[in-house]
Every structure is written in C-alpha cells, then in structure tokens.
C-alpha cells in the first residue's frame, strides 16, 4: 500500500541532498533507518566492551588493595 505523507520544505531539501541518482525518498529513508540501527548496535557493543574493561580494571585495583591491606595493620 502506498501512502502520501507531508514534509516540511526544509526536510524535503535535506532528503533531496541525500538522494543519489534516481533514488526514491523511501529508499533514502530506509537507508537512514538501516544506518541508525547499525549505529545503535555498534554503540551497544562498544558500551559492553568498555564496561568489561572497566570491570577488569576494578578487579585489578581490588586485588592490589587487598595485597596492600594484608601488609598493614590498619586501625580505624
């Protein structure tokens, strides 16, 4: 089913700039949506990788602190 939508003139200008050759507005929009989903997925993967690295660093620091703690008789 084909649907008609209304666009602000500024949006239409931007879509025109994004078009290549005889590409339709639909193709431009679908391409943008695909790129957005890819970026979201990549960003999620980067966040997970970053959290894993942070966790590893935290474990290293905790182990180092524990080793130091055993060497001293701390009084609070």
- For residue 76, what pLDDT is reported? 66
- Distances in Å between the Cα of 11 and the Cα atoms of 6, 37, 42, 45 are 10, 21, 27, 31
Q: What angle do CA 23, 28, 32 make, to 5 degrees?
A: 155
pTM: 0.66
> 42-71 pLDDT, tens per residue?
999 999 999 999 999 999 999 988 888 777
Name the band, by pLDDT with cuts 50, 70 and 90, for residue 38: very high
């Amino acid at each position: 089913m084909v649907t008609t939508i209304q666009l602000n003139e500024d949006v239409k200008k931007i879509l025109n700039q994004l078009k290549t050759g005889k590409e339709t507005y639909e193709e431009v929009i679908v391409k943008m949506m695909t790129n957005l989903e890819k970026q979201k997925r990549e960003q999620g993967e980067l966040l997970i990788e970053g959290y894993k690295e942070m966790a590893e660093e935290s474990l290293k620091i905790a182990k180092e602190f524990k080793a130091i703690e055993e060497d001293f008789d701390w009084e609070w």
